[in-house]
Amino acid sequence: MPDEVHAARGIGYRLTQWEEWFGSPKPNHLLIVILSEEKVVGFAVAKPNSDTDIQAYGEFHACYILPDYRGGTAGPLAMAALATYLHDRKLFPACIWAFRSNPYRRIYPALGCIPKVFRNRLIAGVSLPEIGYLVPDYQPLLNRLEKMRASAAVRQSQLPQRPRRLSRLFG
């Protein structure tokens, strides 16, 4: 992200955003927190899709994990929790938006996500290229996430253990 975007979306902006989320949870929105040894190492959000540029009912809105915890089981577990939440509320097919410069977006096609929309999003006066992926099917996504989680668990078993837990805050 360019510095202008980070400056505009700094701690004050985020604090207001989080206070709104916690103060008045919206229907069919899920916020989960990813914990390791009682330390917050990430969060993930699912909600109904409100973007008319892509034909989807639900949206994987966010999944942010601290760098030291990426590539492990946290991401697949969080995504599976979001997928199940959206599926149970009949919010499939769903979508995921990713900035083109995000190196982690490479996993979306491997999960069966289909790139459908290529556009620029204006944030803080900065035009950022993004891709909208359609997530068409729940069960194939869940199967791929489970394979990804199992593979990460094998890799992690060769390292000192880092237990992970998801905590549901609302939804």
pLDDT band at 72 (very low <50, low <70, confident <90, very high): confident
The structural domains of the chain, ordered by start, are 3-170 (3.40.630.30)
pLDDT for 167 equals 62
Token pair 């992926």 in the structure block, residue? 133
What global pTM score does this model have? 0.85
Cβ(133)–Cβ(98) below 8 Å: yes
**pLDDT by residue (tens digit) across 25-57?**
888 999 999 998 889 999 999 999 999 999 999
Cβ burial of 145 (10 Å; 0-12, 13-18, 19+) is buried
Taking the C-alpha atoms of residue 109 and residue 139, their distance in angstroms, rounded to an integer, is: 15
Strand blocks (E) in the chain: 30-36, 39-48, 58-65, 94-99, 114-123, 126-135, 165-170
